[in-house]
Amino acid sequence: MIGAWLQRTPSARYVVPRKWRAWLLLAWTCTLVYELALQSVDFDWAHTILRVRGGMLYRTDIPLAQLGEVREISVLPSPIRRLSGYELAGRKRGSYELPGWGTVDLFLDAETPPYLLLPAHGNARSIVLNGCDADETHELFERLQREATEIRSRWLDGSKPAGGSR
């Protein structure tokens, strides 16, 4: 099927005809924009680890046993300086420098507060994230508090939680 629109050159390579190049570039660009900007932050709970995925490029694992006090904040300090990552359609992913906080990893939609600040653990950076709306962020905050407290209490009782550090 694909061979119907590919042309074979004398050097035995397939070349996409000129008329198809613009359409393929448009399709690739639309896919990239969707993956980077329009996809919301995805949270996956795996035993004692919260996996945060922001599009196809940015992700991190947060061991709940090492999680400090999670804070809910309504306003981010400004100005925010991007170090690596992207900002598109109000969504910020990657490493940013926030005044007074230093370098943090952002997984958020800047236009839908509140935000959750997860303090640095080990050699990792602090993480600021939020859900797609305020309700999802509140649910995430409550679950993080509940899971982290439960895991730390099991840790103190002598039964180490499954999972590892980052």
Taking the chain (166 residues) in runs of 10, the rounded mean pLDDT of each run is 54 72 85 70 85 84 85 92 87 92 91 91 84 93 88 72 47
> What pTM was computed for the model?
0.73
**Residues making up the chain, counted from first to last:** 166
Res 160: pLDDT: 56
**What pLDDT does 159 receive?**
62
Report CA-CA distances (Å) from 43 to 4, 136, 139.
42, 11, 12
φ/ψ bin of 85: left (φ > 0), alpha (ψ from -120 to 50), beta (otherwise): left
The whole-number pLDDT of residue 32 equals 74
For every residue of 81-100, which 3-state class applies, written as one string?
EEEEEEEECCEEEEEEEECC
- 39-156 has which fold? PH-domain like (2.30.29)
Return d(Cα 63, Cα 65) in angstroms, integer: 6
| Owner of token pair 């896919």 | 31
Listed in sequence order, the residues at least 6 apart from 112 whose beta carbon sits closer than 8 Å to its beta carbon are: 130, 131, 132, 133, 134, 137
What is residue 37's predicted lDDT score, i.e. its pLDDT?
A: 60
Question: What are the DSSP E strand ranges found in 47-90?
Answer: 49-54, 58-63, 71-73, 81-88
3-class DSSP state for residue 29?
helix
- Token pair of 119, please? 């303090």
| Domain locations in the chain as residue ranges | 2-36, 39-156
User: How far is residue 91 from each of residues 13, 31, 96, 106, measured CA to CA in Å?
Assistant: 40, 16, 13, 9
